[in-house]
Amino acid sequence: MAGKPRVGVLALQGDVREHVRVLQGLGADARPVRRPDELAGVDGLILPGGESSVIDKLARAFGMREPLCAAIADGLPVFGTCAGLILLADRIDGGIEGQQTFGGLDARVARNAFGSQTASFETDLDVPALGAPLVHAAFIRAPVVVEWGPDATPLASLPDGRVVAIEQGALLGTAFHPESTGETRFHARFLDRVRVRSGAGAPAL
Amino acid 114: pLDDT: 82
Q: Spot the catalytic one: 19, 167, 177, 187.
A: 177
Amino acid 204: pLDDT: 43
Return the CATH number of the domain spanning residue range 6-198. 3.40.50.880
pLDDT above 80: residue 202: no
Instruction: Yes or no: say if 31 and 68 are a contact pair by the CB < 8 Å rule.
Output: no
CA 79 to chain centre: 3
Written as one letter, the residue type at 56 is: D
CA distance 24 to 7: 9
- Which residues, 6+ apart, have CB-to-CB distance to 105 below 8 Å? 80, 85, 88, 89, 90, 152, 166, 168, 171, 173
Amino acid 130: pLDDT: 97
Amino acid 112: pLDDT: 84
DSSP per-residue codes, 53-107: HHHHHHHHHTT-HHHHHHHHHTT--EEEETHHHHHHEEEEESPPTT------EEE
Amino acid 118: pLDDT: 60
pLDDT level of residue 205 (50, 70, 90 thresholds): very low
Q: Spot the catalytic one: 18, 19, 69, 82.
A: 82
pLDDT above 80: residue 53: yes
Residue 136 catalytic? no
- The domain segmentation of the chain, as residue ranges, is 6-198
pLDDT level of residue 117 (50, 70, 90 thresholds): low
Report the chain's mean pLDDT, rounded to a whole number: 93
Q: Is 199 helix (H, G, I), strand (E, B) or coil?
A: coil
Amino acid 43: pLDDT: 97
Give 82-110 pLDDT, tens digit per residue: 999 999 999 999 999 999 999 999 999 99
Amino acid 68: pLDDT: 98
Residue 19 catalytic? no
Q: How many Cα neighbours within 13 Å face the side chain of 14?
A: 34
Amino acid 203: pLDDT: 43
Mean pLDDT in residue range 109-136 = 88
When comparing pLDDT for 113 and 78, which is higher?
78
Determine phi and psi for 68, rounding to 5 degrees.
Answer: -65, -45
Q: What is the pTM of this model?
A: 0.93
Instruction: Yes or no: say if 37 and 67 are a contact pair by the CB < 8 Å rule.
Output: no
Give 165-196 pLDDT, tens digit per residue: 999 999 999 999 999 999 999 999 999 999 99
Q: Spot the catalytic one: 19, 167, 179, 183.
A: 179
Cα–Cα–Cα angle for 58, 61, 62, nearest 5°? 85
CA 143 to chain centre: 12
Q: How many Cα neighbours within 13 Å face the side chain of 23?
A: 26
pLDDT level of residue 119 (50, 70, 90 thresholds): low
When comparing pLDDT for 120 and 45, which is higher?
45
CA distance 159 to 191: 28
Amino acid 82: pLDDT: 96
Q: Is 170 helix (H, G, I), strand (E, B) or coil?
A: coil
